[in-house]
Amino acid sequence: MRTSKLALCQNVAHVNLMLICLQDAIYRIKETFNKSFDEIYKQREQEIARINEKNQRISKILEDLHSNDEMWQPQMDSFEKPEKLLTVEENEVNIKEI
């Protein structure tokens, strides 16, 4: 009976140690993902800013040419802004004031 209790305690300790190791691994994976996400997000913002600068120059050229062509303006989609994912805008709420 004693050996089974000892073996059970050792198994519980082993399982707890494995859980701690898994939690640490998950944390490191999340940290790596978040770091990569932030880098790509900043790069995307920089590219959008670069395109907007070029679009300003193109707009001036089109204006000089008296052209009415419309320009595509890049912007971040809502799914690319995690902080906006759970934000509710007033126009999304359909409540009548009493």
**Side-chain-side CA neighbours of residue 63 (13 Å):** 6
- What are all long-range contacts of 40-45, with beta carbons under 8 Å and residues at least 24 apart? 41/80, 44/76, 44/80, 45/76
pLDDT digits (tens, 9 = 90+) for 43-54: 999 999 999 999
Give pTM, 2 decimals.
0.61
pLDDT digits (tens, 9 = 90+) for 3-61: 677 777 788 888 999 999 999 999 999 999 999 989 998 999 999 999 999 999 999 99
Number of residues that this document lists for the chain: 98
